[in-house]
């Protein structure tokens, strides 16, 4: 395979692009169907390109049609509706419309918050003042200023209470509702405006946050997490073990290309992988986890949670063909298109995101279609991208047996209705999840360990104290 080397001698500052969608204007070089190694600026004293300044390498068409199909069958169902992708999810409003959810924008929250506090203002507040203040808030946002009292980010935040609006027969948007509310304030005193704005806020703005939904999922294994404090097999892999095992051949091959392209980085990551219980990592690869995205155009982001010394291993499966969907690295002004059967080894700690993914003949953009397939946005292809990586926090996992015992312990506390923690959750909508702060240092856990034959782990938490007898024995 002929491999073209591309040298890029400048890195641009692109922090301002984080969370925003990228397009063709963010790259000067676009690569597709070509074996390339792309290198960034060399370090001080560095004369030759090597792994230290490599940004990415594309190896096109390395998987056979059968392997592409195998990966599609085995992994595609893993990408389901989630609102858990925050920055990389960007702002695909079709997802929100699909769920009939609408995030309250920062300026809307800002003006409601401001109106709620005008009660003590000495100048009478009219509609003109409200509109001037709203324009001022929008200006502040455009200049990158934070708005006091507002937590919402551009692509994540509280939503309009659609159900209440529906119940009242109000079918317009949140913005229209807010405008209608402000119209109704004409002639009211400052105290009345503040009181009504507070009521409006409480009634129509939900306290729970959401983000723009996408089709995405996780396979393989996952580390401890505050609410799930044990290492485990992800639900997707555990649900259908046969289906999962069918993908291992494919993941092994991704591992092989990683090793070939970046032997030193690979060895470092493999060493870390080998320190993890084989039952908590993917086969004999350098990976613990795989992220699956379906027709998901990511906004500019850096990957998080993977091993810092590692690299990203992207590959692609799917159905049909599409235009666009380039993975752009705006800091280097380069974009690479990943087609089914390609492998892209890439430094995912550099800012990256996708250009719009479009239907070949119509140019229609792939949008969020939900689990059930929203026909309004349906397109004739599926781009399923797979990211194989090692989750950094899996290095803190104990043996599989030990992690399974942690899980059993959490469940036993959950099921023990006499456990005093349960009494703190009185409303029927609430339930204790079996987790408390400091639970892994308590005697209750040490006793549980001993009861299940984990004496060495118990001794580590409660080292034996030397008595006079043992000292002179
Ligand atoms: Fe990424």
Distance 55 CA to ligand 1 centre (A): 14
- The b-or-e profile of 222-240 (16+ CB within 10 A means b, else e) is bbbeeebbbbbbbebbeee
Summary mean pLDDT of the chain = 87
What is the average per-residue pLDDT within 276-298? 92
pLDDT digits (tens, 9 = 90+) for 397-438: 999 999 999 999 999 999 998 888 888 887 766 788 899 999
pLDDT of residue 193: 94
Distance 105 CA to ligand 1 centre (A): 25
Residue 470 has pLDDT above 70, yes or no: no
293/215 Cα distance (integer angstroms): 6
CA torsion, ordered 252, 57, 41, 336, to nearest 10 deg: -130
pLDDT-derived band at 471 (thresholds 50, 70, 90) equals low
Distance 313 CA to ligand 1 centre (A): 10
Distance 348 CA to ligand 1 centre (A): 6
Distance 16 CA to ligand 1 centre (A): 17
Distance 334 CA to ligand 1 centre (A): 15
pLDDT digits (tens, 9 = 90+) for 13-68: 999 888 888 999 999 999 999 999 999 999 999 999 999 999 999 999 999 999 99
Distance 285 CA to ligand 1 centre (A): 20
Distance 3 CA to ligand 1 centre (A): 24
Distance 122 CA to ligand 1 centre (A): 51
Domain range summary for the chain, segments of one domain joined by +: 12-36+54-93+215-396, 102-211, 400-471
What is the average per-residue pLDDT within 350-360? 91
pLDDT-derived band at 343 (thresholds 50, 70, 90) equals very high
Least confident range of 189-203, 250-264, 413-427 = 413-427
Distance 383 CA to ligand 1 centre (A): 15
Distance 316 CA to ligand 1 centre (A): 13
Distance 70 CA to ligand 1 centre (A): 23
Strand partners, 337: 326
Distance 447 CA to ligand 1 centre (A): 43
34/453 Cα distance (integer angstroms): 56
Backbone angles phi, psi at 54, to 5 degrees: -75, 135
Q: How is domain 12-36+54-93+215-396 classified at the architecture level of CATH?
A: 4-Layer Sandwich (3.60)
Distance 315 CA to ligand 1 centre (A): 12
Distance 387 CA to ligand 1 centre (A): 8
Distance 109 CA to ligand 1 centre (A): 30
Q: Is 132 left (phi over 0), alpha (psi -120 to 50) or beta?
A: alpha
Contacts of 469 (CB under 8 A, 6+ apart): none
Residue 83 has pLDDT above 80, yes or no: no
Distance 300 CA to ligand 1 centre (A): 8
pLDDT-derived band at 96 (thresholds 50, 70, 90) equals low
Residue 178 has pLDDT above 90, yes or no: yes
Distance 89 CA to ligand 1 centre (A): 10
pLDDT-derived band at 393 (thresholds 50, 70, 90) equals very high
Distance 46 CA to ligand 1 centre (A): 28
The pair of three-digit structure tokens given for residue 191, joined into one six-digit string: 């105290």
Task: Tell me the pairing of strands 80-82 and 214-222.
Answer: antiparallel
Taking ligand 1, which is a single-atom ion, which protein residues have CB atoms under 5 Å away?
303
Give pTM, 2 decimals: 0.77
């Amino acid at each position: 395979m002929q491999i073209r080397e591309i040298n890029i001698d400048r890195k641009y500052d692109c922090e301002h692009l984080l969370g925003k969608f990228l397009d063709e204007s963010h790259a000067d070089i676009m690569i597709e169907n070509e074996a390339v190694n792309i290198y960034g600026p060399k370090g001080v004293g560095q004369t030759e390109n090597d792994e230290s300044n490599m940004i990415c390498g594309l190896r096109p068409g390395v998987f056979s049609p059968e392997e592409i199909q195998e990966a599609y069958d085995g992994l595609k169902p893993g990408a389901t509706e989630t609102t858990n992708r925050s920055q990389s999810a960007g702002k695909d409003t079709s997802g929100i419309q699909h769920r009939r959810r609408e995030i309250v924008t920062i300026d809307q929250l800002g003006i409601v918050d401001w109106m709620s506090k005008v009660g003590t203002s000495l100048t009478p507040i009219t509609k003109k003042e409200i509109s001037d203040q709203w324009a001022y808030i929008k200006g502040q946002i455009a200049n990158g200023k934070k708005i006091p009292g507002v937590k919402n980010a551009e692509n994540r935040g509280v939503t309009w209470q659609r159900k209440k609006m529906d119940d009242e027969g109000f079918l317009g948007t949140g913005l229209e509702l807010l405008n209608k509310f402000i119209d109704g304030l004409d002639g009211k005193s400052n105290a009345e405006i503040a009181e009504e704005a507070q009521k409006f806020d409480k009634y129509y703005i939900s306290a729970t946050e959401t983000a723009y939904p996408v089709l995405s999922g996780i396979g393989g294994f996952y580390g401890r997490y505050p609410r799930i404090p044990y290492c485990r097999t992800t639900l997707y892999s555990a649900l259908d073990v046969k289906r999962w095992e069918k993908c291992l051949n494919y993941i092994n091959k991704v591992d092989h290309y990683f090793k070939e392209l970046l032997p030193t980085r690979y060895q470092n990551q493999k060493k870390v992988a080998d320190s993890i219980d084989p039952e908590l990592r993917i086969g004999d690869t350098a990976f613990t986890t795989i992220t699956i995205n379906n027709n998901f155009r990511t906004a500019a982001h850096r990957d998080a949670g993977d091993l810092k010394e590692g690299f990203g291993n992207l590959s692609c499966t799917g159905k049909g063909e599409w235009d666009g969907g380039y993975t752009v690295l705006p800091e280097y002004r380069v974009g690479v298109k990943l087609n089914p059967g390609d492998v892209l080894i890439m430094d995912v700690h550099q800012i990256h995101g996708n250009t719009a993914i479009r239907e070949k003949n119509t140019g229609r953009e792939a949008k969020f279609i939900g689990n059930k397939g929203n026909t309004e946005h349906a397109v004739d292809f599926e781009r399923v991208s797979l990211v194989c990586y090692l989750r950094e926090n899996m290095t803190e996992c104990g043996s599989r047996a030990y992690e399974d015992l942690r899980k059993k312990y959490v469940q036993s506390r959950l099921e023990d209705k006499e456990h005093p923690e349960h009494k703190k959750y009185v409303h029927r909508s609430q339930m204790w999840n079996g987790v408390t702060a400091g639970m892994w240092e308590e005697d209750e856990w040490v006793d549980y360990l001993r009861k299940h034959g984990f004496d060495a782990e118990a001794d580590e938490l409660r080292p034996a104290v030397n008595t006079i007898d043992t000292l002179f024995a």
